[in-house]
Amino acid sequence: MKNNNVPWRVLMAALFLALANFPAETQNSVAAKDRIILAHKFMRALYPDLRGSRTLTVDTYLPYAQDDATISWLEVSIGEGPKDTILGYAGGCINQPPTAPLQSLPPEFGPPGSPSAPSNISPPATTNDKTKGCPNGPIRPKQFLAGSFWFSADGRLTTYAVDKARDLEKMNAFAGMVLSHPEMTDSQVTAALKNAGAKYGPLDESDLIQNLPIAALEPFLGKIQVLSVDFQPLLKNRNNVATWPEWRVTAKARQGGATEDTYELRFDQFRGDLISLRLIAPRQPTQMER
């Protein structure tokens, strides 16, 4: 059976240049209706250190046969260029053309009694100063962060999640060190976490609360009231040490003074990056409505 969902990719540069000339009021109304623009503004607000990146690549899909189709999911990737652009190939480096394959040999040039060489055989890879350290496979622009957005039928952001934490390598290295030293006490693990570069260890709750990106989130969620901040304890077998402590924030958000949503937000321990957001209790009437 054919799938009517046709994938499409949007490169945002021309659209953003056009929107840059709109009055602020017009930009706000566009952002409220256009989920791609909302995602772009969301990423710029929550990860301001990435504003120097060159492009935002957007992946999404729409029901092709539906006239009034709306976007319910999209993924964005922030990087040095469009994420699927091929800059180079296996066996070569960026800005160097791929090596042409060898042609088939006529039978008279092959060893006696052997078939001719098969076609499209690439020459053996060689290492020299120009190709040393070049990765195998297609070479694409470096991507710094990818996140997915889910929207309700009325256009509200219901879920957001990053593809992987920006400091995943540091997290895994720290976890490998801890798991290889089971004799470490919890206090030693905490000290080692800070030495590894984490900003928000288990003793840094007050610093985390002070630096929560409330002002950055309110244009998208509404007026925010933090209800609780906690994290899962370190397991006895320490299998959760790579992401420990993953900070969990429960908050209410009010839009227009009429209704309240309840969200769960999660932040990583190394940067305090927002790594996920989900709507857990939608649109409850406020005291004024009851």
pLDDT band, very low/low/confident/very high, at 66 (cuts 50, 70, 90): confident
How many CB atoms are located within 10 Å of the residue 140 CB? Answer: 18
Q: What is the pLDDT of residues 240-255, one digit of tens each?
A: 999 999 999 999 999 8
Q: Beta strand 259-267 with 143-151: parallel, antiparallel or unpaired?
A: unpaired
Per-residue pLDDT at 11:
41
Tokens of 105: 């040999």
Q: What is the pLDDT of residues 178-197, one digit of tens each?
A: 999 999 999 999 999 999 99
Buried b (16+ CB within 10 A) or exposed e, 245-276: bbbebebbbbeeeeebbbbbbbbbbbbbbbbb
Sign, CA torsion 210/211/214/219: positive
What span, in angstroms and rounded, lies between the C-alpha atoms of 229 and 250?
7
What span, in angstroms and rounded, lies between the C-alpha atoms of 17 and 27?
12
Of 122 and 153, which is predicted with more confidence? 153
Give the pLDDT mean for 282-286: 64
Quick check: 100 pLDDT over 60? no
Q: What is the pLDDT of residues 3-32, one digit of tens each?
A: 444 444 444 433 444 444 434 433 333 333
- Scan for tokens 């623009």, then name that residue: 37
What span, in angstroms and rounded, lies between the C-alpha atoms of 101 and 290?
75
